[in-house]
Structure 1
Amino acid sequence: MAETAHAVATAVRDCPECGAPVADGGRYVTWCAACDWNVDPEVRNEEPPGRVERLRRRLVRRGGEQLLAELTEFEERGEPGGPVASGEAAAPGDGGKRRGAAGGLAAGLAAAVHGVTLGLLVGGLWLIVAGWGEGFLPAFGALGLGLAVVLRPRFSSLPKAEEHRPVLRRPDAPRLFALLDEVAESVGTTGVDAVVIDADANASVSAYGVRQRRMLHIGLGLWEILTPQERIALLGHEFGHYTHGDTRRTLLVWNAFHSLGTWRYTLAPQQAESLMDHFVNLVTAPPRLLVEGVLVLLEHLTLHDSQRAEYRADTAAARVAGTDAAAGLMDRLLIADGVAGELHRESVAARTRIGGARREDPAEGLWERVAAHAASVPEHEYERLRRVAERLGHQVDSTHPPTHLRHRRLTRGARVEAGIVCAPTRVAEVDAELAGVRRSVARELVRR
């Protein structure tokens, strides 16, 4: 029986398009590496994105390609201070001046957005006070005041510790924080004040509170499928954001994006079911188009800097963990959706199990099963996903360059050896500190 299964899994047939031999993919997609036949058989029924999102995707793809070419040319010239040599990202020619001008314009535009919020606040208060008892003026003032409150700049807060999202401080996991400090120091920055852990297949860094304390978010859905060196690469990439900065991540610009998003949601056209609905949509069309225009402009002014910051963070990841680990991290990002799907299947299976069909705790061994699932993905499937990513412009999110471009830059540049290599004993110590957190997150996941 096993021999038959193996024979099926390794069966070879001719490609219907080019005639090249094609190995059966087994439980993965069967495709032709010679002509890309069946490389992307998935039928996508996604709704077409709106104008702003379509433009954003075009800008991201074009900008990522242009920036990759610029950085590659810069590195090939071997000029001092190049990204691979030192982690800095000086640009050829007047690139620094261009980025400085774009950053200044973005800051000015963000200040103007906040100026509108301030105008609503002041104008609303004036209408309420000066127009008290005079018709509808106080009502309009209250509306302006309410909008100002919704649009106000704000600080992120540290999530409340819960079973599905524990928050770790230094006394909770000293070995983990020691590793974080070492990685942060190796990329030229300092560590974090808190680590938030959940089941997501993602990771990020941010700041919270008035004092802008640092926070690292680790999603076990990603962390658990990585090798120890790939985890170092992940940390190096995230801490690289603190080192190299990003105009879009500043409080001024980040809050401007939030305000514009709120305006866009507020002014969005409603389904017209009456004459009044048509009238409201007509009246709100000009300010809506203005908001979308400002949003696109702010996207354009900050995109180059954001993508450059991502490329530089990838360089930091390679410098601290080695090129192979950083490139491996890019591949794991390609299967993040599959890992999220596996976690969902585990959750559904745990909630729908029948009687004594499965007596053991479904949370036990959850992360090991997810890691085994990720480890079973063959190289030909990764290659297929890389080609699909190139076709579709796969990104982690709207600020990241396309993943295939990030992978290309890492694998085609000068190979870098790891600056930090985690000994097995250290890996075991960190895992031991996270054991309780892993159990609590797994148990909460299977209860959903």
Structure 2
Amino acid sequence: MLHSYPMYLNLDAAINRDPLIVSPETLVTEAIARMIQLDSSYVLVQSQLSLVGIFTERDSLKVIVEGIGLSGLAIADVMTTELITLPATEVENVENIVKLLSRLRQHRIRHLPVVENSGRPTGIITQNSLLQVLEPTTMLANNQQLVDPVNHPTAQLQATNQELEAFAYSVSHELSAPLRRIKSFIKVLSKDYHHQLDLKAQHYLQRISANSQHMWKLIDDLLELSRVSGDPMHYQQVDLSKMVAEIRLELTQTQPERSVEWVIVKGIQAYGDSRLLRIVLQNLLHNAWKYTSHHPQARIEFGVCPLSASQTEGQEQTSDQAIAYFVRDDGAGFDMAYADRLFIPFVRLHTEAEFPGNGIGLATVKRIIHLHGGKVWAKSAIEQGAMFYFTLPPFTNYSL
């Protein structure tokens, strides 16, 4: 069990001393944009040098679920004000990582601001930052008790799994339970009171049912998004062309009447986590299938293309890496002026009436590709289709 391991670390290494801070007047849309830009799961809200609130990914989810309009909405209206914090004077007294992780789980939070006596925030600790400072190689060298002699799990892996379980429980408890009650009431109204409802009321009931089903799908997608960064990665050689062919078969079986030309370059290989790369291709190909659905004839392609030096900026320059994988379609496309919003969770460039969805798929794609150390981007034009590119590091960057 994790709690039996005497895990000690330099806690200061887990503290982000430059937290993302905004004022109470900051618009929610601006705060979310900054969170996305800095790949942050939170913003701290500070007023007159004192911490007054925090806004996290969970809060943004609640805003979406409750249907609160974002236009003109200030962060002060939706931030969490009942704060659990760690006094800066106690930082040196917290030695056991399990104790601190348990504290986060006890309060069902993932962020612990560090504050001075005056209330001024000086940093923040997250579950992820705690896990990142665990170095299994170093810990194993100094303390063999960190390894189970039978299963050999590292403390980092077990702690990561616990973090994932806590998130999954939180989602299930906070969202699934109310939805089950809604579903039950819908069933009662439809069965026992159907004859008392006029056509307008029946229409409303159908809309409630459809939206609750949409919410179930959203929960499933959010759980998938959490599993992406929570599960350990298993690297292996992957036949992407074969994966695409399998996903093509799944899609064509859903709508066999559609006329879609598939062009799949054979023999495209990559090195990465097979399960996660399948999720990437499923999301990209499902999008291509969806956004070509309004065209009587459609074309979907999968292949590779060479990259320019500017496109490989920040990555090791090798012949293995100077390619990008792509999925291309000739569907609805989008305005490139909004391309920077594509990978933001819950943000969509088309209405639900045009194309159904919840804006989670591409966010999941981005997270998976970034976990692999690659990049993802897109090019498009309205009614001229879209082309999504992604890169993966070369085989030489991995070790078995």
TM-score by length of 1: 0.29
Q: Is the strand fraction higher in 1 or 2?
A: 2
Structure with bigger gyration radius: 1
Highest relative contact order (Cα 8 Å, sep 6+), 1 or 2?
1
TM-score by length of 2: 0.31
